[in-house]
Amino acid sequence: MAGKPLRVLACGDVEGKFDLLFNRVQVIQKKSGEFDLLLCVGNFFGSTSETEWEAYRTYAKKGRRGIFSSASGLQIAYLSGTESQSETAPAYSFSSKDVAELKISLLSIQNFKGVDILLTSPWPRDVGNFGNKPEEVDTKRCGSVLISNLAMSLKPRYHFAALEKIYYERLPYRNHVVLQENTQHVSRFIALANVGNTCKKKYLYAFSIFPMSSMDLAELVKQPQDVTENPYRESGKEAHKSKMLSGSEEQPACQFFFDLSKQRGKKRQSDGKEGQHFQHKQPRKISQPPGSCWFCLASPEVEKHLVVSIGTHCYLALAKGGLSNDHILILPIGHYQSVVELSSEVMEEVDKYKCALKKFFRSKGKRCVVFERNYRSQHLQLQVIPVPLSCCATEDIKDSFILQAQEQHIELLEIPEHTDIKQIAQPGTPYFYVELDTGEKLFHRIKKKFPLQFGREVLASKAILNVPERVDWRQCTASREEAAVVAKAFREDFQPFDFSELQ
């Protein structure tokens, strides 16, 4: 990078309060020095006539969309007005044609990487997806889908908007798919309040920026710790993906209740038929396994004596031949092969179980490691293995996975904290995935062969649990009677943390 960064002020709805704005800018400049640019978004004139603006006018009219390039190389794209409800847009509105022409004018540039700044009046629709959401605005209803599409294409480093009378700075989001595309710069969306608002909400935003064209690539694509997924990437695809998974519309899995109450002296809600372990509730069409499945809760093959908790969409069971007596599996009740195939409601309950188990194991002085092997398996099994806090630090566990992977020539990559695994792997993609109690995640895309016991090998090693004899689950299974006793003890111990008991 050569020279000094540009110092920029961005402002929300001015609404004709020119004197108030420029007096405030002068005060700021006296305190912190001159700024190179003042950019305004939202309702600029308000009810004030344009003649009152003449004293401040220093620009030539550019039209309702366009690109401004400064002498330093800073590139600013802008789209004026609100979204028109027809293709013939009035002067104060923009249409899909305006958006298309603005995109074409930039995307046709050779080696286009994105713009430095995007200015719009409305917010982009769905900007809150995968990130922090404003309390006052529903981002799924507010804003323009056209602007979402524009931001998706132009990849602005900064995107400013207004009109909603609030200040909102979204977490930065990435413009590439992790492990599938080259790393690109992040985008920051900032909404600004109106000038002189009585609630003292922020309407001026100061920042420094080097033009993208003058930056070293490695510096440009640095990813901050709080980066999230692109909020617009799934906006138009989620429904289509659901249909593809199910053949038409997504069908929730069947619901079954397994009676665990007899051993606890309590009754669970049922249809009144006693003596049946499984009872249907609102039966629905689900995907069927190619043969009998040990883990579908409706299957006669399921090991009922290992079940310790049942929710609406998922259940917990002790691992058969586990690394320890509290090695637990989180499993979907219906037939799903991997996490990436789960519907949002099933995934929500998986997360609730992970949270409950984490709290439970913490109360026992343990941290937990979660891993999934989506390879040569037909039903999703999330393995949850507790590790005593006194045994080793989370960093040691992470290093053990990485070192063992290197020894076996396995490319185990760390995923950014806010990454959703569904953004990395498509349904049907074989993979191995580890999640640590700190939120750190490791991922390997399986291309050929993969050691089936890899996760157990790492955790059973001397560096962690020091139970190398338990690497192969088939060598350490207990009798049915012994396993039932252990499951009953775990069930009773876990009960205060079990949200399914509170439903």
CATH of the domain at 106: 3.60.21
Q: Which residue has the higher pLDDT, 418 or 283?
A: 418
Tokens of 172: 């930065």
Confidence of residue 378 (pLDDT cuts 50, 70, 90): confident
Range in 14-18, 332-336, 442-446 the model is least confident about: 332-336
Using a 10 angstrom Cβ sphere, with 0-12 exposed, 13-18 middle and 19 or more buried, the burial of residue 169 is middle
Give percent of the chain above pLDDT 70: 83
Residue with tokens 């390879």: 375
In contact, 381 and 351? CB cutoff 8 Å = no
Give the number of C-alpha atoms closer than 13 A to the C-alpha of residue 237, restricted to the C-beta side: 9
What are the two backbone dihedrals, phi and then psi, of residue 133, each rounded to the nearest 5 degrees? -115, 145
Q: Taking all residues of the chain, what is their mean pLDDT, rounded to a whole number?
A: 85
The answer to the question of residue 249 being in a domain is: no
What are the two backbone dihedrals, phi and then psi, of residue 24, each rounded to the nearest 5 degrees? -65, -40
From residue 17, give the alpha-carbon distance in Å to each of 14, 35, 178. 6, 20, 45
The answer to the question of residue 297 being in a domain is: no
pLDDT of residue 47: 74
**Cα dihedral 31, 36, 41, 43 in deg (nearest 10):** 70
Whether the per-residue pLDDT at 252 is higher than 70: the answer is no
Mean pLDDT value across residues 279-295:
51
Confidence of residue 59 (pLDDT cuts 50, 70, 90): low
Mean pLDDT value across residues 87-98:
81
73 with 202, same domain: the answer is yes
Bridge pairing between strands 82-83 and 278-281 = unpaired
226 with 335, same domain: the answer is no
Give the CA angle between residues 335, 341, 347 to the nearest 5°. 90
Domain boundary among 214, 236, 258: 236
In contact, 471 and 453? CB cutoff 8 Å = yes
Report the C-alpha gap between 485 and 477 in whole angstroms.
Answer: 14
Domain boundary among 201, 220, 236: 236
CATH number at residue 340: 3.30.428
331 with 208, same domain: the answer is no
The answer to the question of residue 291 being in a domain is: no
Which residue in 14, 13, 11, 230 sits closest to 124, CA to CA?
230
The total number of structural domains that make up the chain:
2
Range in 63-77, 114-128, 454-468 the model is least confident about: 63-77
In contact, 127 and 231? CB cutoff 8 Å = yes
Mean pLDDT value across residues 213-222:
93
Whether the per-residue pLDDT at 113 is higher than 80: the answer is yes
Confidence of residue 52 (pLDDT cuts 50, 70, 90): low
Enter the pTM of the model: 0.55
Q: Which residue has the higher pLDDT, 258 or 107?
A: 107
Which residue in 139, 161, 165, 140 sits closest to 150, CA to CA?
161
pLDDT of residue 180: 75
Which residue in 269, 321, 318, 275 sits closest to 460, CA to CA?
321
Q: Provide the residue range defining the domain that includes 176.
A: 6-236
31 with 134, same domain: the answer is yes
Report the C-alpha gap between 235 and 374 in whole angstroms.
Answer: 27
Report the C-alpha gap between 47 and 59 in whole angstroms.
Answer: 21
pLDDT of residue 168: 97
Q: Which residues pair with 228 in a beta bridge?
A: 173, 418
Confidence of residue 56 (pLDDT cuts 50, 70, 90): low
344 with 448, same domain: the answer is yes
Instruction: Tell me 124's DSSP state.
Output: B
Instruction: Tell me 421's DSSP state.
Output: G
pLDDT of residue 349: 94
Query: Can you say how many angstroms the Cα of residue 294 is from the centroid of all Cα atoms in its chain?
Result: 31
pLDDT of residue 1: 58
Whether the per-residue pLDDT at 259 is higher than 50: the answer is no
Range in 48-57, 96-105, 452-461 the model is least confident about: 48-57
pLDDT of residue 185: 97
Q: Which residue has the higher pLDDT, 413 or 268?
A: 413
Mean pLDDT value across residues 101-115:
91
